[in-house]
Every structure is written in C-alpha cells, then in structure tokens.
Structure 1
Amino acid sequence: MNPLMDVAGLQARLADNRRTVLLDVRWALGDPHGYRHYLQEHLPGAVFVDLGTELAAPAAPGRGRHPLPPEGEFQESARRWGINDGDFVVAYDDSGSMAAARVWWMLRHAGLAEVYLLDGGLAAWRAAGLPVEAGSVVPEAGNVRLTDGRMPVLDAGAAAGWPDSGLLLDARAGERYRGEVEPVDPRAGHIPGAISAPTSENVDANGRFLPQEALRRRFESLGIRDGVQVAVYCGSGVTAAHEVAALELAGFPAALYPGSFSEWSGNPDLPVATGPEPGGIGGPSTGNTESGKGSVAL
C-alpha cells in the first residue's frame, strides 16, 4: 500500500468536498512550540495533534521516552480529532513527515485503513501556492473504534534476537548509531547486530520521500530482499515509523520496536554496541560492545 498522498491529490479531494480528516503533527526534537506554529498557519481545516501528550504516554523507566499510549486513551484522542469509522485521514508536519509518521503508524496499527502522509508536508503545500489559515480548529467529536495489533511490533527481547534471523535497522543519525554523541538517551551506541539506516536518507532536500525505485535500491543496498524479515527502531519510536512508511513504499513490510533505543539503553542489563559495525554480525565480538557499566560484554 502506498502510504503517501501528494499535494495535487489532496487538493483535488478537498475541492470535491470528499470527507477528509487533516491532522497537523507539528513536532521536532528540541522544539516544544508545535502548537504555536500550528496557530500561526496550517492547512485549512487541519486539527492539531500533540505528539507528546496524545501520541505517547509519559516517559517511564523501562518503557522509553515516548511509550505508546493505552488503547482507550488513543481512541479518545482520535475521536477528539473528529475521526469516524472508515474516514480518510491525511497527516502532515513541517519536518519531512518525521513526526506525522507517528500518527500514520498508530492509526494504521489501530485498524484505520485509509491513512496517508502528505508528501512534503506543509512546505509542499506552501510551495504549490495553496492557502493556509491561522487559529485553532475544533471539530465535532468522531465515533471511530480503534483496536491494537494491525501492524507488526516487537519488544526488547525480540529486538535482541532479531539480527539472528532478519535485519534490524537503526533509523537514527549515523553519529548516534556509532556512539559518537547521545543527546537524550542513557547510553550511546546501538543495539548489537543493528544496521545503520538513517531516516534522513529516505527524503530529498525538500522533505519529500524519494521515489519508490530509489528507496528500494537504498534498502536493497542494506541487504533487504523480499522474504527477509525487517524491523526498525530509532530513539523513541517516532522517526522509526517514518522508516516503516519508507519501507512500505519500497515494497518491504517492517515491524516497529516502539520502545526503541531509549528503552533499550535504559536497561543496564542489555548490551550496547559502538562504532560503525553492527557488532556480533560480521563485526568484532569484543571491543565494540559495551554493557551499561562500561565493561566489555560479549
């Protein structure tokens, strides 16, 4: 399934007055002012979605920085956004779909079939010369019924063993994967056996997803083939959803590790690898894998 909606397609849909729920997920790591940006300008009729409070439960030891919220709470949020059963939903942001992909994945996981990302987001809408509006949109409450379990997920235990039979992708920036810097999580490095696959390489300079063929070549260069089981994590499960969308566009289904590295690195009993190699899969078994206390762990 193509997870994307282009600007022309959305414009035509709105011009035909076909029911469409627009979700504005303005969020970026280090920028807490998403709602302020939304109030200044957004797509006409778009409802603001707060990633920190509506797309995540509070951070907790053992669950990472952005745990998935309880099913009932997420359903309440979706109804507050005006979503009904069977609705057509388009989500966007102003950061290359890196934040909007979170609500795309969560709604798909919860059973809503027609959910899409506006390719290029607000920037692409502006570039097309289309109108925006200011202020807040408060829709009539929806009646959507959501359930969990429609998208594949894995926990820390499954992530630990995943590289033995499939490919585990780390969607964070390369320097965080290698352990050179770690601005937010307890330890630096990556899950042993994971392959570096930065989410930023899924999009072009304008924040649009690369063409399907280019994405497929990118993932094939990492060893992904039809029939290979793929899973993805990032820092807290947000941008990893973007990688799941890119993989789907390329024709590869993928599981998501929602707790991601913030959950993994917070557990001192789990090993963390550093350096450019996966560690344990074609790399040295000692020297590049550290425990939470700094000692070498095999």
Structure 2
Amino acid sequence: MTPLISANQLEEILNSGENVLLCDCRFDLADPLSGKKSYEESHIPGAIYVDLDKDLSGIKTGLNGRHPLPSPEAWAQTKTRLGISPNTLVVAYDKQGSVYASRLWWMLKATGHANVRVLDGGLDAWNGPMGTIPRAPAPCTQAVGVMPYAGLVLVEEVLGNLQTKKSKVIDARADDRFHGQNETLDPVGGHIPGALNRFFKNNLNATAFKTPEQLFKEFSDFLGPIKASEVIHQCGSGVTACHNLLAMEVAGFKGSRLYAGSWSEWCADPARPVEL
C-alpha cells in the first residue's frame, strides 16, 4: 500500500462512510501556536488536531534534541487519547509540504500501525468542503498496546558509525544549514561527519510529492550502491527526515531508518565532531 492518498481518493472514502481518522498536523517552528489556530479557523470536516510539540514529541532535556520522540509508553497513551485504535485508517495532512504529516506517519508505522496514509499535496490539494467546528478526539475504549519504535537509531550508533561506516547518514536540511551557514534553530552549525545532503523539498513538485518513478530515479542516482537498509535519515530535530523516509518508501526503497535526535541532539554535546 502506498503511503500517500490523493484528495480525490480521500473524498471517495469519506463519502462512502468508511471510518477514517483525519489528523490535521499543521505547525510552524517559528510560531508553534499558529497550526492549531489555523485548524480552529478551518479544516477538513471531522479532523482532529495533532500537535508536533504536545502530541508527537517527548520531554526535552536539553541534550536529546528539539523534538525528541515520546517514549513508547507515552506514545501509546497519546494514541489511546487521540482515538487511534489498531485498525483505524489514519490520514494525516498539513499545509507545509507534508512535513509534519510525515512525522505522524513514521511514528505510527514504526509502532506497528500500518493503516496510515499522508494526503498528497496536503490541504492545498483538498477541493472538498471545509469545516470550522473543532472536533475533540474520541479516546479508544481500550488502551493501545505499547510498541517499541522499529527502525529507530540512537546517537550511540551514529557515533559508532563514524568508525564502522556500516551506514550512510542522509541529512534532510537545506544546503546552507547542512554546510553550517545561516543556522538559526540550533546553537552550532554544520553536519555529522560523512553525511550526505538531500533537502526534503527536493521530494516535491510544489506541495505534492513527485511521482514514484521520478523519486526512484533520483534516489537511485543519489544513493548509488548504497542499500536502503544502510541509510540513516536525520535533519534538525527528526521531523523533515521523516519526509525523506516517506519519499523513499513512495519510490519503493524500504528499510531505511531514522535518527530522531538528529542535529539538535548531536550538537548538544561538544565532544561530538562537526563537519562543515
């Protein structure tokens, strides 16, 4: 099953009466309250709001990155509260090129929830009706089971990989930040030594993903002999890296993994090397 769903496909499913949980994931790193405000003003009817900071991130310690993953136990509690039961079809969307929707997609997939799709093109692709009445989540009647994150890479493995070179790190940030220029989000500029750079926006034509054929060719050319299972994705805080993960899956490359702590965790320890 492709991880993407078109606006027309979504509208057909909604009109059929099939049980779908729409998750509005709009967010702005520079203005964390604007996503929820936009949702309250207008959204796809029936959608709930899922907040990057409050729902899709855990407790920050100052050393574990700007958007650390919640523990598997905390994430299971959040899924229960949001009404994401094991068989629920979840469709995530945003208005930022599917960046935040991709984070929800990965977190669900990584904890065993296969029935999740991202609305291709996000809210910009939606031509159906819009609602203005926020919907409160309907919690699951039974607690969702705790599952560890499959495909999660911890900082110790990334550090060890500097010597073993078993994997190739792909950084999803913009070219200038990758090279330590114009860094405004983290206190240190640069990248993990040996990492490659694939800006997440290169996965898109405007706001929609490129075709599977286009993405397959681009990632084939980019990776060369590197296998998908040898790829570790990262970015600034483990969000846009999920976009590259999703794009690779659209292209048919499965098995790559996520270093969720990403650059904001890596650079929090001055003992870790930095490359410009």
TM-score with structure 1 setting the length: 0.86
Q: Which residue of 1 aligns with 2:227?
A: 227
SS in 2 for 1:63: coil
Q: Which residue of 2 aligns with 1:88?
A: 89
Q: Which residue of 1 aligns with 2:110?
A: 109
Q: Which residue of 2 aligns with 1:131?
A: 129
SS in 1 for 2:109: helix
SS in 1 for 2:65: coil
Q: Which residue of 2 aligns with 1:152?
A: 151
SS in 1 for 2:250: helix
When the two chains are superposed, the root-mean-square deviation of aligned CA atoms in Å is: 1.6
Determine whether 1:19 maps to 2:19: yes
| Kept in 2: contact 1:237–1:258 (CA 8 A) | yes
CA distance in 1, matches of 2:193, 2:268: 15
Q: Which residue of 2 aligns with 1:172?
A: 173
Q: Which stretch shows the higher mean deviation, 256-265 or 24-33?
A: 24-33
Number of aligned residue pairs: 270
| Kept in 2: contact 1:110–1:146 (CA 8 A) | no
CA distance in 2, matches of 1:148, 1:240: 21
CA distance in 2, matches of 1:225, 1:139: 45
Q: Which residue of 1 aligns with 2:77?
A: 76
CA distance in 1, matches of 2:27, 2:77: 20
TM-score with structure 2 setting the length: 0.93
Residue 186 of structure 1: how far off its partner (Å)? 2.2
Q: Which stretch shows the higher mean deviation, 196-205 or 217-226?
A: 217-226
Q: Which residue of 2 aligns with 1:185?
A: 186
Residue 147 of structure 1: how far off its partner (Å)? 3.1
Relative to 1, partners in 2 of residues 1:8 and 1:162: Cα closer, same or farther, differing over 3 Å?
farther
Relative to 1, partners in 2 of residues 1:6 and 1:144: Cα closer, same or farther, differing over 3 Å?
farther
Q: Give the greater-gyration-radius structure (CA).
A: 1
Relative to 1, partners in 2 of residues 1:84 and 1:148: Cα closer, same or farther, differing over 3 Å?
closer
CA distance in 1, matches of 2:175, 2:161: 20
CA distance in 1, matches of 2:210, 2:225: 19
SS in 2 for 1:191: coil
Alignment deviations for residues 151-205 of structure 1 (CA, whole Å, 9 cap, x no partner)? 3111112223446123210000110001112111121000000001000111111
SS in 1 for 2:223: coil
| Kept in 2: contact 1:41–1:133 (CA 8 A) | yes
Q: Can you give the 5+ residue segments of structure 1 that lack an aligned partner in the other structure?
A: 275-298
Determine whether 1:259 maps to 2:264: no
Determine whether 1:247 maps to 2:248: yes
Q: Which amino acid aligns with 1:5?
A: I
SS in 2 for 1:35: helix
Q: Which amino acid aligns with 2:146?
A: T
Q: Which residue of 2 aligns with 1:218?
A: 218
Q: Which amino acid aligns with 1:102?
A: R
Q: Which residue of 2 aligns with 1:28?
A: 28
CA distance in 1, matches of 2:114, 2:43: 24
| Kept in 2: contact 1:111–1:147 (CA 8 A) | no
Higher relative contact order (CA 8 A, sep 6+): 2
Percentage identity across aligned positions? Answer: 37
Q: Which residue of 2 aligns with 1:141?
A: 139
Q: Can you give the 5+ residue segments of structure 2 that lack an aligned partner in the other structure?
A: none
Residue 71 of structure 1: how far off its partner (Å)? 2.0
SS in 2 for 1:52: coil
CA distance in 2, matches of 1:150, 1:70: 9
| Kept in 1: contact 2:175–2:197 (CA 8 A) | yes
Alignment deviations for residues 124-163 of structure 1 (CA, whole Å, 9 cap, x no partner)? 00xx3x1010131013211362433353111112223446
Residue 61 of structure 1: how far off its partner (Å)? 2.4
Residue 225 of structure 1: how far off its partner (Å)? 4.5
Q: Which residue of 1 aligns with 2:271?
A: 269
CA distance in 2, matches of 1:224, 1:258: 24
SS in 1 for 2:103: helix
Q: Which amino acid aligns with 1:212?
A: P
SS in 1 for 2:153: coil
CA distance in 2, matches of 1:151, 1:202: 24
Residue 45 of structure 1: how far off its partner (Å)? 0.3
Q: Which stretch shows the higher mean deviation, 48-57 or 163-172?
A: 163-172
